[in-house]
């Protein structure tokens, strides 16, 4: 099994891939029939438990990328657990083409497991999902039972599991907070976010300006864009100092250090950056889907005074998933969008929104905020917003 090179993943390739995946999934379901499909699907949480164990104990790094297969007892000694349970986890993962069993009880990498071993951001993304999000998701129905008609952060599944919001929990657990920052970079790679951001918005129109990355975490996206567009400057804002501290530690920072800076800022407070001649764009990336409507309105309102002080063509770019109308996209594409929507529900009592829902949020925040142009929809939605003065 091999994985296509990222460079080959253009729109035509994606269209063929999605069509093929849709047909293949239909074929699997037709071949299995309802009973066999339900038999295996109903046990998927145990597969996720195997992933959780493999990620937490470092199986991916412990299996050699080059060299002979490693026997289960040797692998168990490397990761610090007993050989019997390790072997059972590895055999289950191997049945899913993640690792390969060679002979009886020795294992080597497949393209899938090797990709995880080589990419620490992707590994962090998988571990974040298999740890805190898996634990929270297991309490979804219980959280709704406790508050069947109330969808807010205090009643979310994450809050029920950990006793606080994700933001509070990551602040109290800085190691997991650092992993979350890495996980968001991994999520971006898994969804080809960087290339879609690069190609989906006319960055050349704001040449020699400053982009304010509001809630930008560790700044991995700002660094990528700064490397691609060398006449742009970026200010990365985040409320969490732990997230911000990871930025200068990232390997790509050295090349853009003079054009990417960091600022601690709570985006519920008025935006402090508003240079009429220098600010080209306010950038809210993967923020709105983390919050219910009332908080999103506060976030948007906090930007209005800064937009009032800036030039009329200074925009607000909302980079978040734009949910489709029924039957507008393939089930393969919609499935991932719905998965992420459930993650927002369980983690934050929030949601992913349609274009019409975004327009309503903007109107409630300030009736002068209008969608100027829809550059992209789907998982990497790009909505350019202007304040009509």
Please pick, among 233, 289, 327, 375, the residue that the annotation labels catalytic: 289
The H-or-E segment that residue 386 falls in is strand 382-387
The count of other CB atoms within 10 Å of the CB of residue 232 is 22
Q: Does 280 or 11 have the greater pLDDT score?
A: 280
pLDDT at residue 357 is higher than 50: yes
pLDDT digits 0-9 by tens, 116-138: 999 999 999 999 999 999 999 99
The SS3 call for residue 155 is: helix
- pLDDT attached to residue 337: 93
Contacts of 158 (CB under 8 A, 6+ apart): 132, 133, 136, 165, 166, 169, 346, 347, 348
pLDDT at 71: 98
- Distances in whole angstroms, Cα of residue 6 to Cα of each of 10, 182, 198, 222, 342: 9, 19, 15, 20, 27
Write the pLDDT tens digit of every residue in 70-125. 999 999 999 999 999 999 999 999 999 999 999 889 999 999 999 999 999 999 99
At 1, the pLDDT band (50, 70, 90 cuts) reads very low
Sign of CA dihedral 123, 157, 380, 366: negative
Residue 9: band (very low, low, confident or very high) from pLDDT cuts 50, 70, 90: low
Torsion angle, alpha carbons of 48, 115, 120, 284, to 10: -80
For the question of residue 336 being annotated catalytic, the response is no
Q: Please give the average per-residue pLDDT across 128-153, as a whole number.
A: 96
Cβ–Cβ < 8 Å for 138, 201: no
- 180-200 average pLDDT score: 87
Cβ atoms within 10 Å, residue 48: 15
CA gap 166, 154 in Å, rounded: 11
At residue 280, the pLDDT reads 92
Tens digit of each residue's pLDDT (9 = 90 or more) over 334-347: 999 999 999 999 99
Instruction: State residue 192's pLDDT score.
Output: 81
**What are residue 217's phi and psi, to 5 degrees?**
60, -125
Instruction: Report pTM.
Output: 0.84
> According to the model, what pLDDT value does residue 8 have?
46
- What domains, with CATH codes, occur in the chain? 6-117 (1.10.10.10), 182-387 (3.40.50.150)
**Least confident stretch, 186-190, 258-262, 306-310:** 186-190
pLDDT at site 3: 43
- The yes-or-no verdict on residue 213 having pLDDT over 80 is yes
pLDDT tens profile 166-186: 989 998 999 999 999 899 889
Report the distance separating Cα 146 and Cα 350, nearest Å. 17
* Mean pLDDT of the region 209-219: 94
Phi/psi for 235 (5° steps) reads: -115, 120
Structure tokens at 311: 């030039």
């Amino acid at each position: 099994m091999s994985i296509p090179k990222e460079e080959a993943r253009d729109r035509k390739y994606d269209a063929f891939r999605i069509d093929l995946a849709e047909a293949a999934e239909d074929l699997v379901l037709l071949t299995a029939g309802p009973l066999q499909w339900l038999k295996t699907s109903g046990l998927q949480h145990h597969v996720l438990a195997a992933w959780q164990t493999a990620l937490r104990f470092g199986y991916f790094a412990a299996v050699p990328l080059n060299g002979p297969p490693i026997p289960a007892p040797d692998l168990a000694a490397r990761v610090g657990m007993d050989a019997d349970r390790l072997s059972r986890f590895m055999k289950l993962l191997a049945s899913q083409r993640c690792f390969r069993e060679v002979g009886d009880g020795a294992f080597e990498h497949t393209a899938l497991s090797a990709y995880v071993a080589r990419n620490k951001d992707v590994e962090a993304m998988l571990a974040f999902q298999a740890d805190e999000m898996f634990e929270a998701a297991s309490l979804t129905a219980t959280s709704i039972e406790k508050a069947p008609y109330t969808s807010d952060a205090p009643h979310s599944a994450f809050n029920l599991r950990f006793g606080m919001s994700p933001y509070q929990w990551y602040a109290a657990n800085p190691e997991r907070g650092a992993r979350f920052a890495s996980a968001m970079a991994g999520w971006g790679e898994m969804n080809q976010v960087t290339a879609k951001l690069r190609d989906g918005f006319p960055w050349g129109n704001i040449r020699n300006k400053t982009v304010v990355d509001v809630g930008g975490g560790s700044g991995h996206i700002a660094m990528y864009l700064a490397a691609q567009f060398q006449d742009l400057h970026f200010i990365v804002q985040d409320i969490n100092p732990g997230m911000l501290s990871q930025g200068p530690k990232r390997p790509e920072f050295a090349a853009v250090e003079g054009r990417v800076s960091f600022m601690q800022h709570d985006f519920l407070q008025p935006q402090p950056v508003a240079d009429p001649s220098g600010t080209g764009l306010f950038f809210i990336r993967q923020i709105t889907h983390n919050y219910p409507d009332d908080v999103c309105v506060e976030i948007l309102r906090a930007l209005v005074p800064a937009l009032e002080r800036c030039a009329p063509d200074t925009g607000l770019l909302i980079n978040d998933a734009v949910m489709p109308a029924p039957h507008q996209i393939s089930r393969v594409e919609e499935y991932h969008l719905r998965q992420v929507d459930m993650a927002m529900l369980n983690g934050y009592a929030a949601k992913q929104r349609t274009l019409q829902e975004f327009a309503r949020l903007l109107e409630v925040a300030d009736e002068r905020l209008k969608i100027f142009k829809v550059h992209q929809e789907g998982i990497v939605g790009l909505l350019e917003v202007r304040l009509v003065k």
